[in-house]
Structure 1
Amino acid sequence: MSENLKTIRELAEELGVSKKKIHYQVSKLDTDLIQRLDGTIYLDKSAISKIKSSIGYTSSVELDTSGIQNRHVLDSLLDTEKNKLIDEKSEQISYLKEQLNKKDDQLSIKDEQIKSLVEIQNQTQNLLDQQQRLALQDKKLLEEYKSEIKELKSLNIPKQGSGKDDSIPKESSSKNRVKEPQNKKWWHFGRRM
């Protein structure tokens, strides 16, 4: 056939798309742009250009002329986006540094608190040890006092066999004796019986 005519498969391979996509585009075209021979569909230049435009395909020649302009625009857009991204990341970094500094400050405060709590714990432990030592000393002193009291009580126990109670003070017993002679008459002392 003619070089200007292409099959659906040839056009799909040339454009790098599937045959189904080309076949769908062909179904939207007018029948006068399509030629059928032996059950095969052939497309002419006008049909091919309409299919290319409908799928958004541009040739490399078109890209060369408009591509340079587009490339400059794209480069400037990319530079702008890159600068925005760099600015955002710089802000994030500075925010994270601030947060890190806050965390460091909080950690140093917590370290100081832990240090003071350890000191308080050590002081409490020392006081508890002192209290236990004092309690032990008190217990020993109490036992000593009890043993001394027992010794003193053992010294004051009256002897068995004496009818009198030694717990009565001697002064009161001598007073009682003095009162007894007063009841008796004095002249009885000199007489003998």
Structure 2
Amino acid sequence: MSKNVKTIKELADELGTNKTRISRIINKNSIPTQKIKNKIVLEDNSVSLIRQYFKNETQQQNETQQQNETQQQNETQQQNETQQQNETQQQNETQQQNETQQQNETVSILRTELDKAHSHIEKLSNLLDQQQRLALQDKKLLEEYKAENDSLKALKMPTADTKEEQVNSQPKEEVKALKFEIRALQEELNKQKIHSQEEREKLKAELTTPKKWYQFWK
């Protein structure tokens, strides 16, 4: 084989490709060939043209491949950004829902505690009204007991002019009964005083003791 010509296989091996691609370049660009001993050969001019076309085609394929890879990277990046945006939006919506639910629960708890506070205040007001009525009743009873006691004392302690006459005229049994009645009235008066004092202390403790609802508002 002449040194000035190359077979398609020799050129394909030199360019690192296959015979099919070299044949396609030849047919596509109408590059002249020769046939020697039933083999297609290429002269130097044809070899130079094929090398140039192969170089251009390879460069074009590389550029196309690079463009495709860049486009694919851009699409992948865009998909990732879109997915990230969707995830961020979903997280924000979930967070907003949780905050709204938490606010609703807090409002519900506050309303419950407020209702309890109102109920407790109403009970304390009723207790205070009862205590005031009891105080008035105690005052009235004390006045009645005092008046009755004064009356009994008047009966028990007569004047000097009539003392001797009353003692002589009253039987001993009546004097004894009077003394017993006076003692019973005094005991009842003491019991009422103690009861009134206990009720006042109980109300005072109830009004001054801090409650859970009060602590909640702190």
Q: TM-score range by the shorter chain?
A: 0.3 to 0.5
TM-score, normalised relative to structure 2 = 0.41
TM-score, normalised by the number of residues in structure 1:
0.46
| Structure number with higher relative contact order (C-alpha < 8 Å, ≥ 6 residues apart) | 2
Bigger Rg, which one: 1
